Structure 1
């Protein structure tokens, strides 16, 4: 079976609960994954909004997630990530910042993209932006999965 990612907070293509948005409690949603390839040595997760008016907006990146992990608990960004790092998002924060699209802009689709990597760590500076993390991960991706949540204001 291929790598899959889901969230107990919302189904693929459905609305992201208010508590997981910047308008709400800004808590990262719980995520679960399974069926990673046996050669997986770590994971990287990014969250991005391709519907942003100025182009793709990146909400979060988590890298160097240990291969033994099978998910992230709700609020993981504020509770510590067990050695994993977080990239600098479009709001200029090294943490999860949930959906907050412009008012009256219609529904935005937030892609939670998980990649299994063939290396135990990406050597990345603490000030790296989400885009840089994703670029550095590209040559090491052995499997990918995504779940998409929707939010509008």
Structure 2
């Protein structure tokens, strides 16, 4: 459990320093806007739009970034990866809203999400299921490339991040759907 009182998908990984991630779209502990929910998975008003993100304070030695959005509350044994991007250049300090559909910098690799396509798939907890927590994480990485291609699953990104993560910036938002 995290100090946020929710499942912490990073608690069993090596502890690393933190830095700051903020968003014009996502607030810590607040419900995601419907634009960040999944129309592809039947959420009324869902648009599958990736959120705007900005970060600062990454440690010295950062050579690239990765961004992930993960739901550990999904009713599966493996959670649900909503977005995974690797190899963002170290000069990158923000992504615009909708970056998943055309706003990523050159060199970035966008992986398949658990919806089966490269890009961002929005929140879509089953109707009536508990409130889900969406871990928006920017990972500071000590190599320019993690050596992944776009067909790699997000779990492989996590495996490759394991020895290369210098720091993490996290923001946890929520989403639920009435029964």
Equivalent position of 1:95 in the other structure: 119
**Counterpart of 1:44?**
66
Could you tell me how far apart the structure 1 residues matched to 2:104 and 2:157 are?
A: 16
Deviation, 1:2, is 4.3
TM-score by length of 1: 0.95
Please show how residues 65-144 of structure 1 align to structure 2 within 5 Å: 65-82=88-105, 83-144=107-168
Structure 1 pair 108/2, CA: closer, same or farther in 2 (3 Å)? Answer: closer
Distance 2:54 2:103 in 1: 17
Contact 1:46 1:134 in 2 (8 A): no
The whole-number CA distance in structure 2 between the counterparts of 1:5 and 1:54 is: 28
Structure 1 Cα separation of the partners of residues 162 and 22 of structure 2: 22
Question: Which protein has the bigger strand share?
Answer: 1
CA contact (8 A) 2:109 2:149 kept: no
Deviation of the 1:125 alpha carbon: 2.2
Q: In the alignment, what sits opposite 2:48?
A: 26
Task: Kindly indicate whether residue 86 of structure 2 is the aligned counterpart of residue 63 of structure 1.
Answer: yes
Relative contact order: is structure 1 or structure 2 higher (C-alpha 8 Å, sep ≥ 6)? 1
- How many residue pairs align between the two structures? 153
Query: RMSD value over aligned CA atoms?
Result: 1.3
Deviation sequence 1:64-107 (CA, Å, 0-9, x none):
00101111100000014122111111111111101011111021
User: Per-residue deviation at 1:113?
Assistant: 1.4
